[in-house]
Amino acid sequence: MHDDLLPVQRLQENLQAVERRQNERDAILAEEANAAEAVTRAAQALASAREAVERATQDLRQSERRLETYQKRVADTRRLMDSGKADDYLLAHQQLEGCLEVVDQTETEALERMEAKDAARIALERAEHACVEADRRLERARAQKDTRLPIVEQEIETLLAARPPLEKDIPTDCRDGVRRLRAQGRSLLSVLKDGSCSHCAMRAAPQVILEVARGSRVHACRSCGRFLVDDSE
Ligand SMILES: [Zn+2]
C-alpha cells in the first residue's frame, strides 16, 4: 500500500468502528421498542382470547339449558300420552316429534359448542404463553440496554474524539477524494482483485494495476472513486 493511504486506512477503520457501534446501538434500541410493542400486542390478544372463552362458555350454557327444557317437554308429553291423559293424541304426538327434533338439533349444537369452547381454551393457553414470552423478551431487551448500551455509547464517544487527528493526517492529495466518498457514505478503500475494483467491478488499466501492486502511486477507482489497494493487503 502506498504510504499516503495508511492514514486513509486508519480513518476508514475509525469510520467503520463507529458505524458498527452505531448499528449496534440502533439495534439495541429497536429491539427494546419492538419487544415493548410485542408485549402490548400479546396483552391485547390475551384479552380477546379471554373474551372468546367467556362467549363460548355462555353459548354452551345456552344450548345446555335449551336441551334440558326440551328433554323435559319430551318426557312430559310422553307421560301424558302413556297415561292416556292427552286431550288430543295426534296433537300430542306432533308435539313430541317437534320436541324430539329440537332435542336432536340442540344436542348437535351443544357438541359443536363444546368443541368451540375447548378450542377457545387452547387458544387462551397459547395467548398466556405468548404473554410470558413477550414479557421475557422485553426483560432481556431492557437488560441488554442497561448493560451494553452505556459501553457502546462510551466507545462511540472515544472513537469520535480520536477522529480529528486522523482527518488531519490525510494527505492533501487524498482529501477531496476522501471528502467525496464520505459525503456519499462510501468506504474509502477498495481492494483491487484480479485487476477489478472489488466494490464496483470496474476494471483498472494495466499501469494502474501495476502501480497499486507496487504501492508506488495512489490511484482511485475510475467508477466509484474509492482508493485502490492491492489484493495482498
Ligand atoms: Zn470501484
Show pLDDT as tens, one digit a residue, over the chain (233 residues). 899 999 999 999 999 999 999 999 999 999 999 999 999 999 999 999 999 999 999 999 999 999 999 999 999 999 999 998 888 889 999 999 999 999 999 999 999 999 999 999 999 999 999 999 999 999 999 999 999 999 999 999 999 999 999 999 999 999 999 999 999 999 999 999 999 999 999 999 999 999 999 999 999 999 999 999 998 76
Measured from the Cβ of residue 167, the count of other Cβ atoms closer than 10 Å reads 14
Ligand 1 centre distance from Cα of residue 22 (Å): 25
Surface-to-core class of residue 151, CB atoms within 10 Å of its CB (0-12 exposed, 13-18 middle, 19+ buried) = exposed
**For residue 85, what pLDDT is reported?**
86
Ligand 1 centre distance from Cα of residue 205 (Å): 13
> Could you tell me the pTM of the whole model?
0.76
The C-alpha atoms of residue 195 and residue 65 are separated, in whole angstroms, by 86
| Domains of the chain: residue spans and CATH | 11-167 (1.10.287.620), 171-230 (no CATH)
**For residue 86, what pLDDT is reported?**
81
Nearest 5 degrees, angle CA 124-CA 37-CA 18? 145
Give the three-state DSSP class for 218.
coil
Ligand 1 centre distance from Cα of residue 24 (Å): 28
Amino acid at 203: R
